[in-house]
Structure 1
Amino acid sequence: MNLLFLCTHNACRSILAEAITRKLAGDRLGVSSAGSHPAGTVHPSTLQYLRKYNYPTEDLISTGWGSVSELSPDIVITVCDQVMDERCPTWLGNVIKVHWGLPDPTQLDDKVQEEALFSSIISTLERRIQYLLQQNFEEMTREQIKTIFQEAGKRHGIL
């Protein structure tokens, strides 16, 4: 099963989700991320906090969704924060679409708040992915898979 995490700039939240999922899922899931308007570089704080929590960062890049079209995702997860009125990109096609809204810690000016929000987001994503990996989604129907991914987003929210 292939997952694609989408966000507007593909510089923070979708990159966090990609790195965390890739490490926790191993070979069980194909994982990528992209943005509708990619920044072109991963935000330095994103890389800093991924390294702090022992996630590999060497293969992470900020890219547009056109460059991951060959992935043929089964599930697209948008991670923009609707509370902040961000417009999440929409992926066209007959794939399962799920929204896991996450606030953007790179928008904070206060380093203490930034660190706390990065920590919370990383913990949230870890719980969501660990929950998914406990499921036997390889034997589920499309609707069951969608429900499980939606449940992961609802059950394991930001602390």
Structure 2
Amino acid sequence: MKILFLCTHNSCRSILSEALFNHMAPKGCTAYSAGSFPSGEVNPLTLEALVRAGVSTAGLRSKSSDEFEDLEPDIVITVCDKAAGEACPLYLGRAVRAHWGLNDPSELARGDAALNADQVATAFDECVAIIRQRIDTMLALPLEVLALNRDQLQAALNGIGEL
């Protein structure tokens, strides 16, 4: 099974999702992440949060969704509201699509209302915890059964996004 996590910039939430899924998933399941307008770099606070969670950061990089034209993912999950509103590229084919909206913890470190470093780290850790819970729930689904019914799988995955 191949999962593609999509976000706009592929620097935070989709990277966290890719790394956590690959850390938690059984053999034969692989996650990838991409952005519709990738930033070109992974947010350093994302990497720090993964290290705190005991998840490898090796090989993580910000990528464009164009890199995955030949991937043919089974499932595509958008993790930001902007990406959810964008049209998925046609080459994603028959992938089941779901949305797991997540607040962007990296936004808390920018702007006039920027929080202190401890508050930002806590926001990243909370995002990691939400993603971990959603992946746990997803991996507990009888995917081989749900894969026979795309509508059921999509409804289940969207339901997980509401956790």
Same fold (TM over 0.5): yes
| 2:59 is the alignment partner of 1:59 | yes
| 2:160 is the alignment partner of 1:152 | yes
- Pick the aligned partner of 1:128 from 120, 134, 150: 134
Q: Which residue of 2 aligns with 1:5?
A: 5
In 2: Cα distance, 1:90 partner to 1:79 partner: 14
Q: Which residue of 2 aligns with 1:48?
A: 48
Deviation string 1:101-145 (CA, Å, 9 cap, x unpaired) is 111111112123311211111111111111111111112221121
In 2: Cα distance, 1:90 partner to 1:19 partner: 24
Give, as a single letter, the amino acid of the residue that structure 2 aligns with 1:153: G
| 2:112 is the alignment partner of 1:115 | no
TM-score of the superposed pair, with normalisation by structure 2: 0.86
TM-score of the superposed pair, with normalisation by structure 1: 0.88
**1:28 shift after superposition:** 4.1
In 1: Cα distance, 2:38 partner to 2:119 partner: 25
Residue aligned with 2:69, SS: helix
Superposition pairs for residues 15-54 of structure 1, below 5 Å? 15-54=15-54
**1:34 shift after superposition:** 0.2
Report the RMSD for the aligned CA atoms in angstroms.
1.4
Query: How many residues are matched?
Result: 151
| 2:144 is the alignment partner of 1:138 | yes
Give, as a single letter, the amino acid of the residue that structure 1 aligns with 2:154: K
**1:59 shift after superposition:** 1.3
In 2: Cα distance, 1:32 partner to 1:78 partner: 12
Classify 1:87/1:149 alpha carbon distance in 2 versus 1 (closer, same or farther; 3 Å). closer
**1:49 shift after superposition:** 0.7
Classify 1:105/1:99 alpha carbon distance in 2 versus 1 (closer, same or farther; 3 Å). same
Residue aligned with 1:117, SS: helix
Classify 1:87/1:130 alpha carbon distance in 2 versus 1 (closer, same or farther; 3 Å). closer
